[in-house]
Amino acid sequence: MDRCTRGIVLATYPPHLSHGTKELSVSMATLAPQTESSNGYHPLPVYQNSPTFQMALHQLHSVTEVIDIDPGVLERLCYPKRAMVVSMPVRMDDGRTQVFFGYRVQHSLTSGPSKGGLRYHPSVDLGEVAALAMWMSWKCGIMNLPFGGAKGGIACDPAQLSRGELERLTRRFTEEVLSIIGPRMDVMAPDLGTDEQTMAWIMDTYSMKIGYACPEIVTGKPIELGGCIGRREATGRGVTYCILEALKEVGLEPGQATAVVQGFGNVGGVACQELAARGVKILGIGDRFGAIHNPRGIDVAALQKHVAAGKLVRDFPGAEPIDPAAMLTLPCTILLPAALERVITRQNANQLRCRILAEGANGPTTPEADAILADSDIFIIPDVICNAGGVTVSYFEWVQDLQQLMWSEEMVNQKLQELMLRAFHQVCHVARTRQLTMRTAALSLGVEKVAKEKQRRGLYP
């Protein structure tokens, strides 16, 4: 019997909310043992019902094969420290009241306040948010940031809500989770479907509640409110720094490389710009409405203008439409998923024709796909380092707000690059010397750091 694990419970999950669930429910039986508390009581299946949470749990267990971890600490790390589920009535523009569900999950507060994004997406649920919170813990560990992991989300489609509805929803959510957030307790940031404006509303609501301006309650806010220059671009830039190092590892110049990018939002959009600026030819770009392909390369600046004018990526005249699933298997040097989790699966993993898989999104590759890719020559830059630029510059922003001292853009970018490269090479070194996959190497560094801190602090009371 595995340490802290026994028994297997297969996930049942509403099919309309999850793609790839069947894959998980079938093969996680062999891959991801379910945890059972050491006292014999089964934890409620509130998290395990999510295939994304099962995936995070499986990854955690996979690293226990290569690191030494106290069974009690491991058992604790399998679950968030705390989670809050809120229902929020919101007055809609047409006068109706609509109830939304929101979540804030804090995986760990051992190393400092918990830190993590807030996402607005129709399929958000407690398990998904808990998985994302766990990944944030490992990410902060690898980057050596004084934070634990957290995540939040509201099940909604932001594209269907007016600005006023989004503002009322955001302010109500802030009010509902007020008791568990704070600059020294839990600090939110933008994620899928949220942006600087969302953070500004949270900052304002929190500040009104406590009676004074508190910019350090969120990161990724507008510069005028104490935001950090370069935070908006930080994740895409960090992704790019990792890709440039990976290109060196596989012996290619950026000018020889091509890329396919899923997601043209904050992460994908900035990464496209940064890669194109370095001579990488972008062959395909997709978003939630469709995908486009141009074998001669997509003019990213022209596409940005097209999208800024309110038009859809799929209608861009400088490229041909392509089936979004087929886009992922185009021959290219770099495949960059920068949208949702679980898009590289058992079904398409052996059809990938890239040399580098750069995980801009969180959790884009299922464990089954990972097992397939382990036998290929694809160089994987795992999410926990690839997209860590966002939380790294969020850390810079938090520090600046606490000290009321602003850094220059040059200093932000230079420090970001320094920390990203250090983490990337540390992971490569561990992978090489210990003969591990890049993912196992990265996760082992993150999990080990958090576990050691827990061990050092000891058990209260």
Binds ligand NAD (CB under 6 A): choice among 340, 352, 438, 442:
340
Q: Are strands 320-322 and 290-293 parallel, antiparallel or unpaired?
A: antiparallel
Q: Determine whether 151 is an active site residue.
A: yes
Provide, rounded to whole angstroms, the least separation between the CB of residue 261 and ligand NAD.
Answer: 9
The kind and range of the H/E element at 184 are: none
Binds ligand NAD (CB under 6 A): choice among 52, 123, 262, 440:
262
Please report the sign of the dihedral spanned by the C-alpha atoms of residue 397, residue 400, residue 402, residue 404.
negative
Catalytic-labelled residue, pool 151, 221, 281, 454: 151
Considering the rule CB under 6 A, would residue 155 count as an interface residue with ligand NAD? no
Residue closer to ligand NAD, measured from CB, 333 or 365: 365
Binds ligand NAD (CB under 6 A): choice among 263, 284, 367, 446:
263
- Reading the block at residue 438, the tokens are 């890049």
Look at residue 114 and give its three-state secondary structure. strand
Residue closer to ligand NAD, measured from CB, 288 or 306: 288
Q: Are strands 334-337 and 356-358 parallel, antiparallel or unpaired?
A: parallel
- Residue number of the CB closest to ligand NAD reads 265
- How many other C-beta atoms can be found within 10 angstroms of the C-beta atom of residue 432? 12
Considering the rule CB under 6 A, would residue 264 count as an interface residue with ligand NAD? yes
In whole angstroms, give the CA distance from residue 207 to residue 148.
Answer: 23
Considering the rule CB under 6 A, would residue 390 count as an interface residue with ligand NAD? yes
Residue from 427, 284, 303, 292 nearest 352 by CA? 284
Stretch near ligand NAD under the rule CB under 6 A, chosen from 49-57, 161-169, 357-365, 415-423: 357-365
Residue closer to ligand NAD, measured from CB, 417 or 455: 417
In whole angstroms, give the CA distance from residue 168 to residue 436.
Answer: 47
Considering the rule CB under 6 A, would residue 267 count as an interface residue with ligand NAD? yes
Q: What's the length of the chain?
A: 461
Contact 55, 27 (CB under 8 A): no
Report 394-453 residues binding ligand NAD (CB under 6 A).
none
Residue closer to ligand NAD, measured from CB, 35 or 114: 114
Considering the rule CB under 6 A, would residue 235 count as an interface residue with ligand NAD? yes
Following DSSP, what letter does each residue of 187-204 receive, concatenated?
EEEE-TT--HHHHHHHHH
Considering the rule CB under 6 A, would residue 361 count as an interface residue with ligand NAD? yes
Considering the rule CB under 6 A, would residue 192 count as an interface residue with ligand NAD? yes
Q: Which residues contact 194 (CB under 8 A, 6 or more apart)?
A: 117, 118, 119, 120, 158
Question: Residue 461: is the preceding peptide bond cis (ω within 30°)?
Answer: yes
Considering the rule CB under 6 A, would residue 242 count as an interface residue with ligand NAD? no
Binds ligand NAD (CB under 6 A): choice among 23, 191, 274, 448:
191
Size of the site for ligand NAD (CB under 6 A): 23
In whole angstroms, give the CA distance from residue 36 to residue 53.
Answer: 15
Stretch near ligand NAD under the rule CB under 6 A, chosen from 33-41, 74-82, 244-252, 337-345: 337-345
In whole angstroms, give the CA distance from residue 436 to residue 295.
Answer: 35
In whole angstroms, give the CA distance from residue 55 to residue 271.
Answer: 26
Stretch near ligand NAD under the rule CB under 6 A, chosen from 21-29, 336-344, 427-435, 451-459: 336-344
Contact 209, 237 (CB under 8 A): no
Stretch near ligand NAD under the rule CB under 6 A, chosen from 34-42, 358-366, 410-418, 422-430: 358-366
Provide, rounded to whole angstroms, the least separation between the CB of residue 446 and ligand NAD.
Answer: 14
Binds ligand NAD (CB under 6 A): choice among 362, 366, 392, 400:
362
Residue from 387, 371, 390, 392 nearest 442 by CA? 387
- Reading the block at residue 250, the tokens are 């596989």
Considering the rule CB under 6 A, would residue 52 count as an interface residue with ligand NAD? no
Considering the rule CB under 6 A, would residue 339 count as an interface residue with ligand NAD? yes
Provide, rounded to whole angstroms, the least separation between the CB of residue 267 and ligand NAD.
Answer: 4
Q: Catalytic residues, which ones?
A: 151
Which residues of this chain interact with ligand NAD, rule CB under 6 A?
190-193, 235, 262-268, 286-288, 338-340, 360-362, 387, 390
